[in-house]
Every structure is written in C-alpha cells, then in structure tokens.
Amino acid sequence: MKIYVLGNTLIKKDATAVNLVPALQKELPQHEFLLVDPTESFNPDPDKTLIIIDTVLGIKKVQTYEDIDVFTKNKTVSVHDYDLILHLQLLKKLDKLPKKMVIIGVPQIRATASLVDQVIVLLAQ
C-alpha cells in the first residue's frame, strides 16, 4: 500500500507527519511511505484508496478525514495547506481523485511513540 506523507521539515510545526515516517517504516515495512510535496504533482492511482498523512493545524489528537470539502470550508492558514487542497481539488475536478480517500491528520506536536501507535491503528482499519 502506498501512503503519501506531506510536510515541511524546515518548518517545525509542519514536520510532525514527516518525522513519523522512520518509525512507521520500521513498524509497517509492508507499506510504502512516499514523501511528497503538494507543490509538485503526485498522481495517486484512482482505482486504489488514497491515503495521506499530514500535519493539521488546530487538532489535539490524530484523526481521519474522508472528504476534502471539510478543509475548503476552513480558512487557509498556510501556503502548504492551500497547495495540498488545491492539488486534491484539481484531481477531483479532473475525475482523477480516487473514490475512497483517507487523510490521517496528526497534530502539530513532537513526533512520539504514541502518535506512531495512533497512526498504525488507523492504517489497520
């Protein structure tokens, strides 16, 4: 399974998801974790579930989202957030967004074993 991971290691608040990758790869070697930049195109397979792990502003615990429209109702808080949503909206408009999508949002906190465990539980569903 391909899992797209977004974030920016140059901005500490936006690096949580990326910082989880080494531990996730160790615990889930059967999955492929792809670090992607939303400002560059990434083209998920429209016939497979799209799974994204990203840092989400304002949440206190790991949670999932299955509809990009949830994000478009909120104000954009950074260029990074705008680019991801813009890219997903473009894929949707071109009918290239997979029918099933899960965004695993992680809070803007230090990457911990607890966060890794929470993401693993969500990936197992």
Question: Rounded to whole angstroms, how far apart are CA atoms 111 and 60?
Answer: 13
51 φ/ψ angles, rounded to the nearest 5 degrees:
-120, 125
Cα 8 to Cα 45, 71, 85, 96, 103: the distances in Å are 24, 19, 16, 25, 17
Q: Under CATH, what is the fold of the domain 2-124? A: Rossmann fold (3.40.50)
Ramachandran class of 8: left when φ > 0, alpha when ψ lies in -120 to 50, beta otherwise: beta
Residue 66's SS3 state is coil
Q: Evaluate if residue 73 carries a pLDDT over 70.
A: no
Domain positions in the chain: 2-124
Residue 77 has pLDDT above 50, yes or no: no
What is the reported pTM? 0.86
Residue 8's pLDDT is 81
Say which range, 14-18, 61-65, 78-82, has the weakest mean pLDDT: 78-82
The Cβ of residue 22 has, within 10 Å, a number of other Cβ atoms equal to: 12
More confident residue, 57 or 40: 57
Percent of the chain past pLDDT 70, that is, above it, reads: 87
